Structure formats: C-alpha cells, structure tokens
Structure 1
Amino acid sequence: MIILCILSWWKWNAAIKDCWKRDKTHFSSSISMKGRVDLSGPSDNTQEAGNDPELPLFTFDFIASATSNFDESNKLGEGGFGDVYKGLLPGGQEVAVKRLSRSSGQGQEEFKNEMILIAKLQHRNLVRLLGCCIQGEEKMLVYEYMPNKSLDAFLFDPTRQELLDWKTRYDIIEGIARGLVYLHRDSRLRIIHRDLKASNILLDGEMKPKISDFGMARIFGRDQNQGNTTRVVGTFGYMSPEYAMEGLFSGKSDVYSFGVLVLEIVSGRRNNSFHNMTNIINIVGYAWRLWTEARITEMVHPTIEESCSMAQVLRCIHVGLLCVQDHANDKARHAIGCSYASE
C-alpha cells in the first residue's frame, strides 16, 4: 500500500509539472505573438470595448537605445520597484520606462499585476501603458510620458506651488475622482488601487491628472465588496484605519485616500508635516480640529486665497472630511464612495 501511494503521488506530481510547463510555454508564445509590432512605436488606435488591448513587447536593446542606455540624465525618479527613465521612440514619441530592479524584494509580483491590470484599463484620467519588456531578468513597463511629472512635485515645492491656482487644483481633484469612479464602477474590471497618493498622480502637459502605479491594485468581482489581506501594502497616512489595522480593503479604502489627497491639495501641506504640532499627527487631525473650532478657512493655502471661490473650497474640504471618516461603514463615507464624481 505504501509503494502504491508513493507511485500514485509520483505520477500526480509529474502530471502537474507537465501541465505547468505547457501553460508556461503557451503564455510565453502568446506574449511573443502579441509583441510582433512595429518598434517605431505602438499604434494609437483605440481598441473596441469588447476586446482585450494588445500589449506590444519591446526588446531590451530597443528600450536601451530609446533611453540612451539608461543614462542618468534621463532618470525621472525611483521607487521600491526600481527606476523610471525618460525615453524617445524612433517616431519621436516620448515615453517613461519603469525598470524593475533585480534587487527589488517587492517587484516581481507587482510588475505582473500592473502589466495585466493597466493593459485592460482605458480612461483619460489613468496613465496609459504603451508596452512592456520581458527579456531574461529584465522586466520593464513603457508608459506615456507625463511632462509635468507627479502632483507632489508641484504641491509641496515652495517655488512651484504658485503655479497651481485654484482652478487647476479643482480640475485635478475632479480628474482624480473621475478616474476612481471608472476603476470602482465603470471599467470592465472592478479595481481597488490601494496606494492612491500625491506621488502616484501624474500631470500631463495641460496639468490634467492621471492615476498611476497599479502594482498594489486588486481586482474585485462584481458582487464582491470587501477583501482581506495579511500583507498590508501602501503608504501610511493615506491608508484607511480598517486597512492599516485589520487588512480590510474595499472601494472605501480608496475613498479615504482620496479624502487625504483633497485636503493636501487645498492646504498645500503634506499629510505627515504636522509632527511638531501638539496632539496633531496628520492632516486629517489638523482638518478636524479646524473644523470643530470653526477655523477651517485657515486651512486654505495662501497662494489660492485670491483666485478661489471660498464656497467651492469649503465644499471640497467638506467632501474631504466626509471621505476620511474613521469608520468604513459610516454613512458619510459610504455615500461619498458612490457619488464623489458627480459632486
């Protein structure tokens, strides 16, 4: 009986390995077939709603040439996944190349997640993925280039804050909200971003916002409202209390992060810049104190006081505070999760 059990286990294990190898070969060949495109740059043709968009596969040599062999002068930034470089395709199109670091402890899973997710998402307030590179140990994502980089580069820079008048800030808030509504309700996939913050909001040449970095995102089924994880990822300060403490995430988690962003955009202050204030640990606590003391207008950044409609600013602050309610099931956060775009 022992010999028969061992023999059965061996045959089952061999069958599993054989199946895995066949699936891996099929997956690689599928990517290769999709990657046979004109390397002068991906087409701008819009995919039909019912079809998965093709994701062009670039070679390592092609991307190295586009970025001048990843020259330091083309480096746009870096993160836990690796570095981002500016590149120029032969047709003249500028691109941003996210290169997964070989020493990155978090990148492998996040890279695959981002590649699969964002290739299926099309919205004017989401950054567009143009292609990828999977060659040996090299893994890279090629995005449309955002000339104004990220929101935090303007919002928290004393020399550039003045470039963000109230109309621009309001348009950015509205654009982020529209992008979230698409992710949560209007796309074919229901996506929870899980890492919404100022550095993940990119700005195009017209200062229009685009949500980026979907490495931490999760897909929800249409009937699924909440998920749970033992691995809490994201950025403290933007995390909702139920996610940071219990690992529970849902659309309300992104709504909480959106509320923090709104308060940052109105005040021009980082979420974690209040450590020197008594009994204030972040921008949420600061806003609630001013609100309860009827001093909320003090939160408005001085550079926008003259250009703004104070009624509109106060409405944005009110929306931000509704989004950052402590309890996920609070009617206010629940309601705002369904209506923040139309507001």
Structure 2
Amino acid sequence: MTLLNIENLSKECGNLRLLNDLNLTLNHGKCIGIKCSNDTSNLLFSLILGKTNYSKGNIYIENTPISKCTNIKNIIAVVFSNEGMYERLKIYDYMKFFEKIYNSKISIKEILIKLGLFDISNKKIKSLTYSQKKRLSIARALLSNSKLILIQEPTLNVDRESALIIRECIPYICSLGISILATSVSLEDIILLGCETYILDEKGFNTVETDIPTNETDEKSNNEESLDAPYFKVDKIPAKIDEKIILLNPTEIISIESLNGTSYLNVGEEKFPCTLTLNELENRLKHFGFFRCHRSYLVNLQRVREVVTWTRNSFSLILDDKNKTSIPLSKGRMNELKDILKF
C-alpha cells in the first residue's frame, strides 16, 4: 500500500524554480534514499510536513492530500542532520521522556539494543559523540509510532561503528512497517543504505542503478563484443572543460563515476566530465587496472587502500587520496575483486 505519493510537484520562488515536476511513490515498510543538497533536503521535508506551500502538484499521505492531514505530526517523524537535545538527561531518561509523550508501543530496551546504545544508556547526552547522538535521534524517532521517518544525512560524518549500526537497522525499521525517506549530499552514503536510490536535481528525480546486471544475455553480448574488438591500450582519456578538451593519462585518474548519464573523471580533488560512457571507459581502461566496482563506478585498483565490509550485503573501497574517498562495492563484484587482488 502507498504511504507517500508525490505527484507533479513544483516549487517556485519568484522567477526561480526550486523543484520541478517531482514524482515519487513510497510504500509502507520501504526505504528510499535521495542524493541532494542540504537546501533541497530542507525544502523537500518542509513540503512533506506541510510547513511550506508548493506551487503546483500535490503530496498525498495514504491517498489524503497533505493539506488535509490534521495529524501529520503523528504520522511523520524527522531526524535532522543537526538537532538539539536535552543535554543534561541520560540516554534512558531521554527515551522515557519521549515514550510518555508518544505513548510508544515499542520497547525502549529493544530500540537501544538495535542502535547500540543499551550499554551506555546511563551516560548523559552531553558526553555523547556526534555519531552516538545521531543513533539516539533515530532511536527517539522510532518511539513516535510514526508511519514515516524522514532522515537527513543518516551516516555522513559518523564513525564506522555507527554507520554499520545504522545501515543494519534500516531493514529492522522497515520490518516494523515503518517507511524511511533519507537524504544526503553523499551518493555513496545513500547507496550503502541498500535502498531504492535517486539523485534529485533541477531535472527532478533520477534513478540510480544500485547493482550490476547479471543477465546472461548481457554477459554474452559483452563477451562477443570483447572478442571482436582489437586488443589495444589507450594512452589518453578525453575530458571536456568549457570549449576545451584535455587529455588525461589513465594513471592520473583515481576513479570514475556516472551521474545523470554523464561520466566524471576524478583526478586529485577535481572532477572532469567525459564524453565517453562508463561502459566505454570500462572497456578502454580494463588493461590499466580499472575495475567496475559498482554499476555507477569505476575504480583504479592501484589507488585502493582498504576494502571495508559494512554488512553482509554492504561494502566500500577506501582510496589512498587526500580525503580517503570511499566508494561503494557491489556485493556481486566482491568475489571477482578477491580473485583479482588474491585476498
């Protein structure tokens, strides 16, 4: 059953169109992740909560227009990227406080265990790290008996333990029949949630393929194509900047990502758009040690520093660049990577 339905939604401010003809459907017990800017996330959440009027279209909660939902606070809970807390309270007391407010049906102990907070439930909130506070915010949202939880930056800038706990908690939340709509400025963080993924920009929602196809026909076609193609090494990869074409050495490229149908070459801290598709780049760069780690990513294996296992189905590659960039690794490519790297 559909919980949230966004139909042809637009928002204008003067002559500026902030959101353009958005269409999105979120069912009960499902999770959707959206890569977008902080400003866009704030606007989208404000529209869904009925705090901001839209210019065109409509938003429905269980087939009721948002403008006619009188109990929206009982239906939707929000976890903002930064939010205030009662710093002097202990974790357990904080949860008991909200349990009384919400008349919660879920066990506090169960929630604290799921979010790795039970063993520190006697600690005061003011002594918690940002990562622990993020987990506590999600725990508090679970007490609200809401049907939908909106989460900003679920794992961005949190420590490794917290990222793992939050990602593993997503299926648990959905199993309760609760839906999740998460936003982040980081595409990788959204992909690693293991949910339906979109990029939201001025053109609207763009679907992100989150796994590599294993269709036998596709594999056969790729094999036949590779047999017919001549074996050669490419010395340069073209990138376009304004009206100028620059030629990059493959060894300069750290990784390549596909966004909205355009391939971007990551060189140092810069991104260069490339006219070649990710499939074309994969074929041209496979002899230079590039690996298709994800449907939307190619990585230079010479620049991989760590292989990180988050959950049974969630992996990342940490690169050796200045920012220790993390990019997703599809579950279906892990064994192939093990064969290549012999680990």
Band the TM-score falls in, shorter-chain normalisation: under 0.3
| TM-score after normalising by structure 2 | 0.27
Larger fraction in helix:
1
Q: Which has the higher contact order (CA 8 A, sep 6+)?
A: 2
